[in-house]
Amino acid sequence: MNNLISRAKELLESKTVNVVIGYEAGPTGLARPAFITDSAKADKLIYDERCVQNLAVYLTKAEVKNFGKMAIVARLPVMRSIMMLISEQQVIGDNLIILGISEDNSLLDIASISVMQGYIDKCDLGNPSKDREILAELNKMTPEEKFSWWQNQFSKCIKCYACRQACPMCYCIRCTVEVNQPQWIPVQANAHGNTEWHILRAMHLAGRCISCGECGRACPVGIPCHLLTMQLADQVWNYFHVHAGTSDKMNSVLSTYEPNDKESFII
């Protein structure tokens, strides 16, 4: 952590960056995103298990973009998000300094995007193990059980869109749910509207989800909606052998194809 603080100070003092995006401890003891612009305040920075939010989400927010050059504290999911954002032309890699954090919470030396790519390549890019277990359980259910399990979850949804807002890949300035000509997704938070919203969100993240789980974590009513995108991330790997967020050049699975893509259901 001291390394992180001293590096942050160095970057701010040398004016290499205008802001360091990291974590601080809030009044209730939770860690939360922090934006350090003054090296004197860099001591607030923390890094430990509490630091869960995917900070990459801020890289596309207007008021954060205004900072210009910035440094960001990044564990694997954040790095993968950054890769996706660069590949989708939302973030310019040159404007970013990556303060990489390893699995054992030590500061990594990520000098460039290609170094970051090298680091990512060495990591396990599958879904987190606890989610893998739940997915395995769900996949064992019958279709009827799955349907009622999810309907039960969706019944809680209030359409606050915290799942969308917390997701670094949901950076659209106008989401499909906000399109009303035609009204693709029913506006109201009822069974129908909620179900179609979650289908839409998952499909839009197919091949783009980097398995950070932030959507599920953000949900105020506890819908594990991250399982939907994670299931698709699994399937993307199964079908196409691609992990999202591993290259700054990659096009997502649904915008590319191979002529010999295999499926078994088209007659």
Partner 1 sequence: MARIGVFVCHCGENISATVDCGKVAETIGKLKHVVLSTEYKYMCSDPGQTLIKEAIKEHNLTGVVVSACSPRMHEPTFRKACAEGGLNPYLCEMANLREHCSWVHEKNELTTEKAIDIVRTQVEKVKLNSALQPIKVPVTKTAMVIGGGIAGIQAALDIANTGHKVVMIERSPSIGGHMSQLSETFPTLDCSQCILTPRMVEVAQHPNITLYTYAEVESVEGFIGNFTVKVRKKAKSLDEKLCTGCGLCTTKCPQKKIPNEFEQGMGMRPAIYIPFPQAVPNRPVIDREHCTYYIKGKCKICEIVCPTKAIRFDQPDEIIELQIGAIVAATGFDIKHADFFPEYGYGRYKDIIDGLQFERLASASGPTSGVIKRPSDGQIPKNIVFIACAGSRDPAKGIAYCSKICCMYTAKHAMLYKHKVHEGKAHVFYMDIRSGGKNYDEFVRRAIEEDHVNYIRGRVSTIYERNGKLIVKGVDTLLSSMPVEIEADMVVLATAGVANSGAEELAQKLHISYDSHKFFAEAHPKLKPVETNTAGIFLAGACQNPKDIPDSVSQASGSAVKVAALFSQNELTREPLVAVVNRMGPPLHSTCVGCFLCQAVCPYQAIEREDIKTRDGKVLKSLAKINEGLCQGCGTCVALCRSKSIDLHGYSNNQVYAEVVALLNEY
Partner 2 sequence: METTRKLIRKHSLELLYKKLSASNKVYAPVTATDKQVEYKYNPPFSDVTFDHIRSTLSVKNLVFPKVENLFIFSNSKTESSITDVNLNLLPNVVLWGSHPCDNAAFDILRSIFCWDINDEFFSKRLEKVTVIGLACHTSDDYCFCTSTGNAPNSVKGSDILLSKLSGGDYIAEFITAKGSSILASSPELFENETEEKAVIAVVNTKFSHEQVTEKLQTAFEHPFWVENSLRCIGCGACTYVCPTCACFDIQDETKGKEGRRYRSWDSCGFGLFTLHTSGHNPRHVQSQRWRQRIMHKFSYMPDRNESLGCVGCGRCSSACPVDMNISEQLEALQNI
Partner 3 sequence: MSDFEPKVVAFVCNWCTYAGADLTGTSRLKYASNVKIIRFPCTGRIDFMLLLKAFANGADGIIVSGCHPNDCHYTSGNFHAKRRWIMFKELMDFMGIDMNRVTFSWVSAAEGAKWAEVVNETVTRIREMGPYVSYKELVNKTIEEEVKNE
- Can you give the binding site for partner 3, defined by CB under 8 A? 138-139, 141-151, 176, 184-185, 188, 190-192, 195-196, 198-200, 202-203, 206-207, 228, 231-232, 235-236, 239-240, 253-259, 261, 263, 265-267
Does 254 help bind partner 1 (rule: CB under 8 A)? yes
Name the binder of 228 from partner 1, partner 2, partner 3, none, CB < 5-8 A by kind. Answer: partner 3
Min CB(255)–partner 3 separation in Å: 8
Contact of residue 88 among partner 1, partner 2, partner 3, none (CB under 5-8 Å per partner type): partner 1
Structure tokens at 224: 């594990």
Residue 57 beta carbon to partner 2: minimum distance, rounded to whole angstroms: 6
Report which secondary-structure segment, H or E, holds 23. Answer: strand 19-25
With respect to partner 2, which residue has the nearer C-beta, 102 or 183?
183
Choice from 1, 111, 141, 221 touching partner 2 (CB under 8 A)? 221
Q: If phi over 0 gives left and psi between -120 and 50 gives alpha, with beta otherwise, what is residue 45? A: beta
Count of CB atoms within 10 A of residue 245's CB? 31
The residues near 153 (Cβ < 8 Å, ≥ 6 apart) are: 223, 224, 225
Name the one range near partner 1 by CB under 8 A: 122-130, 187-195, 209-217, 249-257: 249-257
Provide the 8-state DSSP code for 66: T
Q: Cβ closer to partner 3: 68 or 182?
A: 182
- Give the span between the Cα atoms of 241 and 228, in whole angstroms: 18
Task: Please report how the helices 191-204 and 143-154 are oriented relative to each other, as an axis angle in degrees rounded to 10.
Answer: 100
Cα gap 34→31, rounded to integer Å: 9
Burial of 41 by CB count in 10 Å (0-12 exposed, 13-18 middle, 19+ buried)?
A: middle
| Choice between 173 and 266, CB closer to partner 2 | 173
Q: Shortest Cβ distance from residue 70 to partner 1 (Å)?
A: 18
Asked whether 43 and 5 are in contact (CB, 8 A), the reply is yes
x/- map, 155-174, partner 1, by CB under 8 A: ----------------xxxx
Q: Which does 149 bind (CB under 5 to 8 A by kind): partner 1, partner 3, partner 2, none?
A: partner 3
Residues composing the chain: 267
Helix (H) or strand (E) holding 80: helix 76-87
89 secondary structure, DSSP code = T
C-beta closer to partner 1: residue 131 or 214: 214
The residue ranges that bind partner 1 (CB under 8 A) are: 88-90, 171-176, 179, 181-182, 184, 204, 251-252, 254-256
